[in-house]
Structure 1
């Protein structure tokens, strides 16, 4: 028996048209898309005119397991992902222990297969324990299922270490995913360095801490031929550097978060630095930086949207701004926030281009099976309601984390159904 989605509007990813179509899923694949498909013995879901999209893919989440299960688990994080329309997520390795062995790759994959609500793709660490002192066995990590390598949470400070990592990664066709932060420049900063940080008396992190590391790694990628992917880009000069690298034909890609597209340090200023739910790394920066990130997304310099979903316990985020942990959650409302602000309200890009940033581009960049809506494609699907406006309410989150600056916003574009490899994983 198959799964028949009737009465929906399928988004044409080429021309942006919404086409009234039924979608039949049998096994793990889409077997038919047509004007009308007979129910026969299939399980039927009436979509009521809602919009059918390819399942979203987030290449940057923190599921916290193993080691920090009080913040999140593979089960709760993937359930939050499914509620947000995600069918694949890539989890960062800065757990405890760090995901730096084949055994830990297998642990994540097997736990997700047993307990999860979406496909979980683990990153392997670049260096053992993310200490920057010794390379991991990148070949073994890849063979065990690592989607790429990253020391996210910290930047690889040693240029020679990163150079060697890129050489090995290039020979294995493994993407190198960078947390771009020069720790000597960032020091103990807790927000963007500038006028606001000085007024609040808080130590700042300059944009240069990000862009200087990106510049270094672009040059290393040029020498080694590695695929370099820049995490959570936030600084205007960083965007320019990625734009230059692409103009030179280098295999450099980048992601941006909803919060760096929509928010600035002004929200920290408005609370006098009293609310650590506004604290994230890289930090919320200036309006000029935000506009640069937005331009980069619109012109294709930035390839994809990633949430950098980083759950923390409530008591941690109640600490003073200086000492509270960095990070926001975002899986459950990333698409509604950006659909509302970029498509509906401000008409900055059409729906199908936003969906490409959420699904098609991540699949293409990381060579994943997904991001398509076609007969024969993997049945990773998201159905969204573009009309109903609802409030972002952390009390309703499936994630253990409640830490977000978007709480209380009214947005449209909520997920009503998620299908992962032919299995319904969320239904409103």
Structure 2
């Protein structure tokens, strides 16, 4: 017999700073934002609420990641849905999108529903499976996009991330297909013939280090083609992990033409450069590669001015066997869920490029809008909680600074490029559907979905 369903206890966040800059109390009751401001303490539910002193802390809408690798099914030695989403909650995320490159590939309704159920059972945050564009990510035939869209997982985002949909005809067909049900294609922009054997950014440094180079044009050529295809069929394109100055120019031009294109940048491309590759430490090996300082500055400016819409972590956990080895055979990827907001604070807030309303916009409001997460629209454009919205919130302490220790992270993998770096900020509380999944800076208890508690299985 399943455990009885219990509603999250009311919580009053007292004296918090909102992303908009004002100070206000926030009352959470029955899983919703019940009141904000002077009405919070006078609300009937306030008398039974647990009061949390949030003086000096910032309340942000729960973060939304459009680009997470949870590895399950098939690669549970690197990550599971449970460990990955617990790490996400610790990073302030209440919604993540799980990329399709699992084993088996998430290219059928059965696999995406499995990932979705695993997310509900874990209870740390919402998990939205990303469906593969092509069968097995092979780039030869379209996967059954319609079946995944009609499944319990209700997939709307499709990507062969890790692989590029390099065939122009196939990409056009995918864009046309997803348009019929309001979906979009998220492209990993990498022309394969220009990057065969590539190991790092193509530059003077790659020549010095003797590592085959990965030219910027390999990314930019695919973006140029795809924005024209999206314009031609009037469909939605999302560009994953933009990494070059030239890519920024192309996306800016496309938006000026009215193309329905959105774009993301990773935290590591906002902070790290190719100079780190001099160490030959494979923790810095990533796809797309770390680029030049000029690219980093262009990406920051593009995120600040809205050319790039959101920050996607591209959280890519790997086992020690695949990362602690010779550079040329090491896997590509870095962990990022637990360090994303600290990196954004350092790269964007402390440089004056974004205020906290801007942080809420690029880490919550915009990605929720792109993905069509109507139940995640818990904040206005200024990042302030909306009364009546689902209470997905993160309480953030911007004043602390901590040295990154991957051994203390909740993700199953340890391939963080920030090891030993001092980064600002820390999650104090994460509220997922009104339940504190992170409390006082530590994981608490997961949320039990009512359907799962009552029936023993997830449903939607």
Question: Which of 209, 214, 219 is matched with 1:210 structurally?
Answer: 219
Alignment partners' CA distance in 2, 1:321 and 1:297: 31
Q: Which moved more, 1:138-147 or 1:257-266?
A: 138-147
Gaps (5+ residues) in structure 2?
Answer: 1-7, 380-384, 442-460
Partner of 2:99: 92
TM-score (norm 1): 0.95
Shift of 1:158: 1.0
Cα 1:69–1:8 change in 2 (3 A) is: farther
Task: Evaluate the alpha carbon distance shift between residue 90 and residue 8 of structure 1 in structure 2; reply closer, same or farther with a 3 A threshold.
Answer: farther
1:18 Cα deviation after fit: 3.0
Does structure 1 residue 284 correspond to structure 2 residue 290?
Answer: yes
Within a 5 Å distance, the mapping from 1:321-360 to structure 2 comes to: 321-344=327-350, 346-360=351-365
Aligned to 1:56: 63
Does 2:40 align with 1:43? no
- The structure 2 residue matched to 1:412, chosen from 424, 436, 442, is 424
Contact 2:201-2:214 within 8 A present in 1 as well: yes
Is the Cα–Cα contact under 8 Å of residues 17 and 56 in structure 2 kept in the other structure? no
Q: Which residue of 1 aligns with 2:382?
A: none
1:11 to 13, 18, 43: 18
Q: How many Å apart are 1:26 and its aligned residue?
A: 2.1
Contact 1:191 1:205 in 2 (8 A): yes
Q: Select 2:315's aligned residue among 305, 309, 328.
A: 309
Cα deviation, 1:206-265, whole Å, max 9, x if unaligned, reads: 111111111111111011111000000001111111101000011000000111111110
Alignment partners' CA distance in 1, 2:15 and 2:200: 44
Q: Which of 391, 396, 416 is 1:384 aligned to?
A: 396
Select 1:165's aligned residue among 174, 177, 183: 174
1:34 is the counterpart of 2:37:
yes
Tell me, yes or no, if the aligned pair for 2:272 and 2:296 is still in contact at 8 Å. Answer: yes
- Distance in structure 2 (CA, Å) of the matches to 1:147 and 1:174: 4
Match of 1:298 among 301, 304, 313: 304
Q: 1:219-234 alignment to 2 at 5 Å? A: 219-234=228-243
Q: Structure 1 residue aligned with 2:26, among 23, 26, 29?
A: 23
Secondary structure of the 2:328 match is coil
Q: Which of 361, 364, 367 matches 2:369? A: 364
* Aligned residue in 2 for 1:396: 408
Mapped to 1, the partners of 2:22 and 2:84 lie a distance apart of 31
Question: Shift in Å at residue 407 of structure 1?
Answer: 1.3
Number of matched residues?
A: 420
Q: Whole-Å Cα distance in 2 between the matches of residues 102 and 84 of structure 1?
A: 29
Give secondary structure in 1 for the equivalent of 2:437. Answer: strand
**How far apart, CA to CA, are the structure 1 residues paired with 2:22 and 2:338?**
24
Which secondary structure state, in structure 1, belongs to the residue aligned with residue 25 of structure 2? strand
2-structure distance, mates of 1:322, 1:128? 28
Where do 5+ consecutive residues of structure 1 fail to align? none
Q: Determine the C-alpha separation between the residues in 2 that align with 1:149 and 1:283.
A: 23
Cα distance in 2 between the residues matched to 1:306 and 1:8: 30
2:146 corresponds in structure 1 to: 139
Contact 1:7 1:49 in 2 (8 A): no
TM-score normalised by structure 2 residue count:
0.89
- Measure the CA separation in 2 of the matches of 1:26 and 1:7: 14
Cα pair 2:283 2:417 within 8 Å, conserved:
yes
SS where residue 69 of structure 1 aligns?
coil
Deviation at 1:48, TM superposition (A): 4.0
Question: 1:154 Cα deviation (Å)?
Answer: 0.1
